[in-house]
Structure 1
Amino acid sequence: MNHKVPVTVLSGYLGSGKTTLLNNLLRNEKGMRIAVIVNDMGEVNIDADLIANEGHLDKTDEQLVELSNGCICCTLREDLLIEVEKLVHKGGIDYIVIESTGISEPIPVAQTFSYIDEEMNIDLTKICRLDSMVTVVDAHRFLKDFQSGDTLLDRKQAIGEADEREIADLLIDQIEFCDILILNKIDLVTADELKKLEQVLRSLQPEALFIKTSHAEVNPNLILNTYRFDFEKVSDSAGWIKELTEGHHNHTPETEEYGISSFVYHRRLPFHPERFANWMNNMHSSIVRAKGIVWLANYNTVACLFSQAGPSVDINPVTFWVDAMSEAQKNEILSARPEVLSEWDPEYGDRHTKFVIIGIDLDEEMITKSLDDCLLKTDEIDADWNQFESPFTWRIRQPY
């Protein structure tokens, strides 16, 4: 198959306007035959004048709706891989649009189109081209939802009792992994509120194309057949990654006008685990997003990933420090990655703390001092770090 069917994935929290956008796309006047994959046909509410004469919409057991303009809409019944392969091999379509659920992260959906599934023996990379990852944001509700501290369970939107995700984490996932961001319902906010929100979102996602709209009325040409998607580029497009890797500082006149800024906190001493945990649990409300690597004294062999989005805060071990490994492992890694030596400390090796803080009206000096207060004091450096009080209960094995 020479022609690969392009695919656009729509993400966005419940109520952001994805379904309205879908209906607008289905009414396209370009003669494009679009296949839409949705999780719940009953929620799409396709306009009656679009449904073909032989088509019907049975909310209890609908699998496929044929539209008068050649488009089709189908319910996700099996694994997404199987569903997409069936649609492509059936033929008669020019494009596929996937509406991910309002509570799904976009990365697993994108990965579906990026590798061969050997278990199912399906290779979508040969028949499809992931064109764009679109996230729809509700301009009216975003900050309320982001700052709510609610979990999906709180709102009865969770997949099950074990789904403990917070709304803020979900919103961040959808914003940080996209190449087109649609800021919808702008008619419900003031011009000043919109400008401030746009700058907040740009600090979180500086690379995506921003489209501002009401009622999800978007020119299809802006989101279909864009050739924008690049997995590696989108994976590295989040604001916190840009600042850590490129020294990108979000201090433009526009962001300064609305008090939005960011900075990197970087130290070569470990945090006292109890003091840092207390700092995490009492983070200043001006901090919107923080993420990066943390060195905790009690856990001297592992680098920890610290991540905060609004009221949601988390920290977990992610990898061993190179200096904690056996000499053989260490030499092997340093041979393959000599750049690690560029910041090597004679005493502590590659151990360090380095994370980005993004926020509104940040007091950088105050926040930096509060973090410095969590570092080991002079009289603690020579103590047995394993004896410090710690609220973390990870069991860390040796790296060799």
Structure 2
Amino acid sequence: MARRIPATIISGFLGAGKTTLIRHVIENAKGKRLAFLINEFGDLGIDRDMLLGCGLEGCTDDDIMELANGCICCTVADDFLPTMEKLLDRPDKPDHIVIETSGLALPKPLVKAFNWPEIKAQVTVDGVVTVVDAKALAEGRFADDEDAVQQQREADEALDHDNPLEEVFDDQLFCADIVVLNKVDLLDGAQVDVLEAELQTRLRPGVHLVRSDQSGVDPAVLMGLDKAAEDDLDARPSHHDGADDHDHDDFHSFVLNLASVNDPTALEMMLKSLIEQYDILRIKGFLDRPGLPRREVFQAAGPRLQRYFDRPWRDGENRRSELVVIGLHTIDEAAIRAHLSDWSIPAAAE
């Protein structure tokens, strides 16, 4: 049988550093023909555009494909399989495929999709990589007291104490072959040691954990694992085993269409305040800075915000500031839009 193309699935919660990790892989491809499938949660494709704007060799339209019709683990038949078939029909097949799931995706249903006959004959899951935000974990964002939750459930069976974020995080860890503990530069050594020890108790036997900052992991560590994960599903437990899918009603996303931003510092201060007030999980997108030739990337994961210029605006391109906001299903979209009304484009002009 002809050699099957290896595929690496990169999982991890919102803002953990998955796209940065992919950029590092592109920078260190060393002549390999790589293809990338980027999955987004929300209506606006941001991550693919960030990669195409990075100015790196290998960031081409043909090699970076986007799956923006919903979470990849819920749209396998309608979106993922046709995209893979299109990729595999190319005469210049890639040496390796890298798939970035959305921060809300469960990796196991995607691994299962590689058992579809159309895919299995040509591709194998070389390994699943889960990126973890060390700083967020140290802040307790995924350190719920499971014993206390169980006691509450037993005390009142009518109460729903499920934590969807915890379930997503657990499933991403349970399916991993390598866990990248990212952003360790934001903590001291003792904190990192504690986090690593805690994570090791949650991982399957034989799963490796590596530390990184800026997602700077050698691709040789992440690729060539030869795990054939699609043949190893029973060893990868999930909170959702036996279910058809998982419920994205737990989360809500919406797009903010903003006018040109003359004072990005003021906008950043406002967004930081809204993140704290409304428990926004993630913001990402682009800003149009009038008079400046390059677009500005804006990202926020929890309380940490980042802005940088990535590429020039193209001739004829619509210079518009657009941000995707992601939160739990209870997030108050109307209130957030009201706070940002001074920056927003009137609905009739969109």
The alignment's TM-score, normalised by the length of structure 2, stands at: 0.54
Paired residues of 2:114 and 2:230 also in contact (CA < 8 A) = no
* Equivalent in the alignment of 2:172: 174
Paired residues of 2:126 and 2:225 also in contact (CA < 8 A) = yes
* Equivalent in the alignment of 2:143: 147
Paired residues of 2:39 and 2:100 also in contact (CA < 8 A) = yes
Paired residues of 1:179 and 1:234 also in contact (CA < 8 A) = no
Displacement of 1:237 in angstroms is 5.6
Q: Partner amino acid for 2:79?
A: D
- Which residues of structure 2 form unaligned runs of 5+? 69-77, 146-161, 240-350
Secondary structure of the residue aligned to 2:28 is coil
Q: 1:50 and 2:48 equivalent?
A: no
Structure 2 vs 1, CA of residues 217 and 65 (structure 1 numbering), >3 Å: closer, same or farther? same
* Equivalent in the alignment of 1:105: 106
Q: Deviations over 1:214-238 (max 9, x none)?
A: 1001111111122134446564266
* Equivalent in the alignment of 2:212: 213
Q: Partner amino acid for 1:222?
A: V
Q: Percent identity?
A: 28
Displacement of 1:85 in angstroms is 1.5
Paired residues of 1:183 and 1:213 also in contact (CA < 8 A) = yes
Displacement of 1:2 in angstroms is 1.6
Paired residues of 1:65 and 1:74 also in contact (CA < 8 A) = yes
Cα RMSD, aligned residues only: 2.6
Paired residues of 2:180 and 2:210 also in contact (CA < 8 A) = yes
* Equivalent in the alignment of 1:313: none
Is the radius of gyration larger for structure 1 or structure 2? 1
Secondary structure of the residue aligned to 1:102 is coil
Paired residues of 1:13 and 1:137 also in contact (CA < 8 A) = yes
Structure 2 counterparts to residues 259-274 of structure 1, below 5 A: none
- Which residues of structure 1 form unaligned runs of 5+? 56-63, 67-71, 117-122, 150-163, 242-290, 292-400
Quote the Cα distance in structure 2 between the aligned partners of 1:91 and 1:27. 24
Paired residues of 2:184 and 2:192 also in contact (CA < 8 A) = yes
Structure 2 vs 1, CA of residues 9 and 29 (structure 1 numbering), >3 Å: closer, same or farther? closer
Partner of residue 64 from structure 2, selected from 69, 73, 77: 73
Structure 2 vs 1, CA of residues 91 and 10 (structure 1 numbering), >3 Å: closer, same or farther? farther
Quote the Cα distance in structure 2 between the aligned partners of 1:36 and 1:6. 12
* Equivalent in the alignment of 2:328: none
Quote the Cα distance in structure 2 between the aligned partners of 1:223 and 1:106. 16
Quote the Cα distance in structure 2 between the aligned partners of 1:145 and 1:130. 30
Quote the Cα distance in structure 2 between the aligned partners of 1:98 and 1:42. 15
Displacement of 1:26 in angstroms is 1.4
Q: Partner amino acid for 2:195?
A: L
Displacement of 1:74 in angstroms is 1.1
* Equivalent in the alignment of 1:130: 125
Quote the Cα distance in structure 2 between the aligned partners of 1:180 and 1:85. 27
The alignment's TM-score, normalised by the length of structure 1, stands at: 0.47
Structure 2 vs 1, CA of residues 232 and 125 (structure 1 numbering), >3 Å: closer, same or farther? closer
Secondary structure of the residue aligned to 2:61 is strand
Q: Deviations over 1:277-327 (max 9, x none)?
A: xxxxxxxxxxxxxx9xxxxxxxxxxxxxxxxxxxxxxxxxxxxxxxxxxxx
Paired residues of 1:137 and 1:183 also in contact (CA < 8 A) = yes
Paired residues of 1:133 and 1:229 also in contact (CA < 8 A) = no
Structure 2 vs 1, CA of residues 184 and 235 (structure 1 numbering), >3 Å: closer, same or farther? farther
Quote the Cα distance in structure 1 between the aligned partners of 2:23 and 2:174. 25
Q: Deviations over 1:351-384 (max 9, x none)?
A: xxxxxxxxxxxxxxxxxxxxxxxxxxxxxxxxxx
Quote the Cα distance in structure 2 between the aligned partners of 1:82 and 1:23. 25
Q: Partner amino acid for 2:212?
A: T
The one of the two structures with greater contact order (alpha-carbon pairs below 8 A, sep at least 6) is 2
Structure 2 counterparts to residues 280-291 of structure 1, below 5 A: none
Paired residues of 1:146 and 1:171 also in contact (CA < 8 A) = yes
Secondary structure of the residue aligned to 1:132 is strand
* Equivalent in the alignment of 2:23: 23
Displacement of 1:185 in angstroms is 0.6
Q: Deviations over 1:93-114 (max 9, x none)?
A: 1111111110010100000102
Q: Deviations over 1:48-104 (max 9, x none)?
A: 43267xx8xxxxxxxx725xxxxx211116511111111011132111111111001
* Equivalent in the alignment of 1:193: 191
Aligned length in residues: 205
Quote the Cα distance in structure 2 between the aligned partners of 1:186 and 1:115. 38
Quote the Cα distance in structure 1 between the aligned partners of 2:113 and 2:99. 12
Q: Partner amino acid for 2:190?
A: D
Secondary structure of the residue aligned to 2:7 is strand
- Name which of structure 1's ranges 199-208 and 226-235 shifts more when overlaid on structure 2: 226-235
Structure 2 counterparts to residues 316-355 of structure 1, below 5 A: none
Secondary structure of the residue aligned to 2:170 is helix
Paired residues of 1:178 and 1:234 also in contact (CA < 8 A) = no
Displacement of 1:27 in angstroms is 1.5
